[in-house]
Amino acid sequence: MSRSNYTRAIEDLTSRQSSLEDLSTDLLESVLGLLGNPHQEYESVLVAGTNGKGSVVEMTSHLLRHRGLSVGSNMSPGLTSPRDRIRVDGEKASRERFADLYETVSSVDEDNELSFFECVTAMAFLEFSETDMDCAVVEVGIGGGRDATSVLENTYSAVTDVSLDHTDMLGSTRREIARSLAGVEGERNVAASHLVR
């Protein structure tokens, strides 16, 4: 893949619409199904909350790698480029790999219906599957149980601190927002929780 393919992938990706009105995971699950359900092939840690999610993803990934595991991480936003959102063992995806992942996901999302966030999430899950890593540590975008990342059948969940954010969608009080964020827990084990009491 040449740099121009990467540039085209970025331009196409950033042109995708993002809607906060519909937080259904149906479309993403359909696309992942066409890709062979890559998100079901590894254990994961799903990190939700208002602040500090990226730091928790980084620390958790580092600790797991220190234990000898191969770890994928998915955070948003990317610090320097969209490639920062897809890392395996601390290394962000190369330009060529990023373009390849985008092309693969786009091939089954023919009408470009996935939002920017959903598309990058699908790309990350595909990369984690194809690199045969042990665990993924993934940052939730907005909310908990209805966020695109909630398609993961994760083993552990972490919830950082809770503040008034996205009140039009998650609730008007810290308690309501905490309940929404707790949707990442479900029947799973909770690795860390600082929910409002």
CA angle 92/98/99 to nearest 5° reads 160
Q: Where are the domains of the chain?
A: 3-13+25-193
Strand pairing category for 135-139 and 43-48: parallel
Let me know: does 84 contact 196? Beta carbons within 8 Å: no
Instruction: Say what the pLDDT of residue 158 is.
Output: 74
51, β-bridge pairs: 161
Instruction: Say what the pLDDT of residue 153 is.
Output: 75
Instruction: Say what the pLDDT of residue 25 is.
Output: 84
Instruction: Say what the pLDDT of residue 23 is.
Output: 62
Give the pTM. 0.79
Distances (CA, A) of 108 to 31, 33, 34, 53, 56: 6, 10, 7, 30, 32
CATH fold for the domain made of 3-13+25-193? UDP-N-acetylmuramoyl-L-alanine:D-glutamate ligase (3.40.1190)
Which parts of the chain register pLDDT below 50? 1-2, 164, 166-171, 177, 182, 184-197
- Scored b (16 or more CB within 10 A) or e, 161-188 reads ebeeeeeeebbeebeebbbbbbbbbeeb
Let me know: does 133 contact 11? Beta carbons within 8 Å: no
Instruction: Say what the pLDDT of residue 171 is.
Output: 46
